[in-house]
Structure 1
Amino acid sequence: MTPAPFTPHPAMPGRSLLTMRNHPPDAIRAVLELAMRLRATRDAGWPPMLAGRVVALIFERPSTRTRVSFASGIARLGGTSMVLSSSDLQLGRGETVEDTAKVLGRMVDAVVLRTGPHATLEELDRHAGVPVVNGLTYEHHPCQALADAQTLLERFGDLAGLPVTYLGDGNNVCVSLMIVGALTGMRVTAACPPGFAPDPETVAWADAVARERGGAARVVEDPREAVAGARALYTDTWVSMGDEGSEGERRAVFAPYRIDDALMDAAAPDAVALHCLPAHAGDEITYEVLHGPRSAVWDQAENRMHAQAALLAHILPPPR
């Protein structure tokens, strides 16, 4: 089986991905389908779908999986990437995002940005003139959610109606999971302590969109209630970048939401554990679950490469 011939989804070429809320469900499904095909043919080598394409990867925040998966996926598809930090660019010396965007847009075919405020990403997109991909902002992490959906699709064969539970901080990872869950018809439950739930507007949007496809989205406080019948239990670090000052308080608040063997046993018999990494074994997930037979975490991490390569192939098809 080979990924070629390949026809990009008509809604994707030249489009940025800041959040998946701006893309139709069938376009997201097309990206996932190509990602599955790329994974299946990884050892045989991928066709040069990005030959002649140059992608700038800008990381204003630390990264392992986003950085390596994009660079590796681009290379495997025959493209070229350049990894840049703020200190590598004049952004670090006060050049505006607008000016930086206008320059980059004349030299590269796409820009991936990992930053803090979502507004920074939006400004880059307004002025670049080429597709911009969200490599993470405080509000959204769509590339992670694509890999999450691919992993669940591989494990369970269908996403429509699939019960998935996210436990812990209703952060950017939780928000993006709810969005991709809505677009693919999952039933996503977020179990969060008071004060840490995702934005109510996002939850309401996700629930309305998901219900059109046999899914749902909701937030509860009780982790046991949330995992009943779930086929995937998903968590993220309790102390994200910028939260270090409240580390002790957050550990106490989130302790009941730890994914351990007992919580896994309360879910569906075939339930898997997910984590976007980096993990802190003993905090949000136990070492035994993270590295045990019910973990899908390492497939999930690898799928970052396949999902992002597929995304870029749809966004940057060969010139006609």
Structure 2
Amino acid sequence: MSIMQGGKLCLLQVGKCFSLASNTVIKRCASTGGTDLIGRHFLTLKDYNQSEIEHLLWTASDLKTRYKENKEVFQPLIGKSIAMIFQKRSTRTRLSTETGMSLLGGHAVFLGPDDIHLGVNESLQDSAKVLSRMTDVVLARVYGQSDLEELSKYSTVPIISGLSDMYHPLQILADFQTLQEHFGQLKGLKLAWVGDGNNVVHSFLMGCPKLGMDLNIATPKGYDVDPKVKEDAVTLVKQSGTSMNFTRDPMEAVAGTDVVITDTWISMGQEAESKKRIKDFMGYEVTKEMMAAAGPHAIFMHCLPRHKEEVSDEVFYDEKRSVVWQEAENRKWTVMAVMLNLLQQYMPLHPKPTF
């Protein structure tokens, strides 16, 4: 049974209301319980509050248990499809999204640079409108954050960031899941970032304060985090009561921390700068000595792909302290959590982890 009420169609039998406004993603205005993220875009953790991030992580943990441990066949997204736009290649983003959507019962369509030229042969606005009519959700791995924002402006289906030069929110969800699994909670952890002030650390800055984690950041001169991102992070830190420190000294950054994190020094599109960057990052390699300066139980993280100048083999392949493979696997469970929650309301079956 349904009635018109205040310009909205109310489905009384399930207690839901859906806006009839055109040119917008359909959004639920009354919830049946749990966290409702249906129709939201996922472009940056800046747009998500603590409870929403925790719900995505809870979903990821729940799905990992259901599929990996319990061997369940659970296909809530049968008949759904995702378009995957890749301006930049990626092993983990492509594999995690394709295999994750398949497990959920849906279908993934890969669109590489030879398949779609955003803003070149067709405007971003037109691409968004076409994709919206043929798929249920779009993941875009692009250079400019503005491209994601333009797609989301005109899309009537959720847009998920697979990475941009500014943010990499899917990676940070996987990192948070890995930290929760290893330490049993997130609140109170102290993280150290050693390396480039890039999209990955930008996403840590948007997420760590909301979940009660402190963050130290060591970057060489000329490779600082974006000033606007830093400004936003300072606001979040003040609101949360956490701490955030910036330094040029990697040893100072890692001192007494629980987690040491680095990333590639030469991202895609920066290959021409490789010699200069390797020189500028001298002293930033994560070594056994650097890990010894961290806390006695500190772990090492890297989102991959890894190059030897960034971290020694001794640290990278340390089975006790390096969690890079668990971190990589969790890319799958977290992107599944995002896709599922943006397409339908999901209440996990298993108890909520401690955050």
TM-score greater than 0.5 by the shorter chain: yes
Pick aligned residue for 2:263 from 228, 236, 259 = 236
SS at match of 1:88: coil
The number of equivalent residue pairs is 312
Letter in 1 for 2:47: N
* Aligned-partner Cα distance in 1 for 2:117–2:170: 26
SS of equivalent residue, structure 2 residue 224: coil
Q: Which residue of 2 aligns with 1:27?
A: 52
State the Cα distance separating 1:255 from its structure 2 match: 2.0
1:123 corresponding residue in structure 2: 150
Instruction: Report the Cα distance in structure 2 between the residues aligned to 1:80 and 1:71, rounded to whole angstroms.
Output: 8
Contact 1:166–1:234 (8 Å) recurs in 2? yes
TM-score, normalised to structure 2, is 0.84
Deviation at 1:95, TM superposition (A): 1.2
Counterpart-to-counterpart distance in 2, 1:310 and 1:46: 16
Deviates more, 1:216-225 or 1:65-74: 216-225
For 1:9, which of 20, 31, 35 is the aligned residue?
35
Q: 2:63 aligns with which of 38, 51, 54?
A: 38
SS across alignment from 2:296 = coil
Aligned to 1:279: 306
Q: Which structure carries more helix by proportion?
A: 1
1:222 match: 249
The answer to whether the Cα contact below 8 Å between 1:8 and 1:314 also exists between their aligned partners in 2 is no
Counterpart position of 2:100: 73
Aligned to 1:149: 176
> What are the residue-to-residue correspondences of 1:64-143 with 2, within 5 Å?
64-89=91-116, 91=118, 94-143=121-170
Residues 162, 215 of structure 1: 8 Å contact kept: no
Q: Where do 1:290-305 residues align within 5 Å?
A: 290-293=316-319, 294-305=321-332
**1: distance between equivalents of 2:344 and 2:213?**
29
**Structure 2 stretches of 5 or more lacking a match?**
1-31, 347-355
Distance 1:64 1:213, change over 3 A: same
Report the equivalent of 2:281. Answer: 254
Q: CA deviation at 1:91?
A: 4.3
TM-score with structure 1 setting the length? 0.93
Alpha carbon RMSD of aligned pairs, Å?
Answer: 1.8
Instruction: Encode CA deviations 1:264-290: one digit per residue, 9 max, x unaligned.
Output: 111011111100100002x11111211
- The separation in 2 between residues aligned to 1:187 and 1:176, in whole angstroms, is 14
Give 1:289's aligned residue. Answer: 315
Shift of 1:318: 6.5
Task: Please tell me whether Structure 1 or Structure 2 has the larger radius of gyration of its CA atoms.
Answer: 2
Shift of 1:41: 2.7
Identity %: 38
Cα distance in 2 for partners of 1:188, 1:313 equals 30
Q: Distance in 2 between matches of 1:70 and 1:163?
A: 30
User: CA separation in 2, counterparts of 1:81 and 1:32?
Assistant: 22
Taking the TM superposition and a 5 Å limit, the aligned residue runs for 1:300-311 are 300-311=327-338
Task: Name the counterpart of 2:18.
Answer: none
Asked if the contact 1:255–1:284 (Cα under 8 Å) also holds between the matched residues in 2, the reply is: no
Aligned equivalents of 1:120, 1:197: Cα separation in 2: 23
**SS at 2:246's partner residue?**
strand
Amino acid at match of 1:222: D
Moved more, 142-151 or 216-225: 216-225
Instruction: Measure, in 2, the Cα distance between the counterparts of 1:92 and 1:132.
Output: 16
> Do the aligned residues in 2 keep the contact of 1:53 with 1:80 (CA within 8 Å)?
yes
Q: CA deviation at 1:87?
A: 1.5
Q: Which stretches in structure 1 are left out of the alignment for 5+ residues?
A: 1-5
TM-fit CA distance, 1:310? 0.6
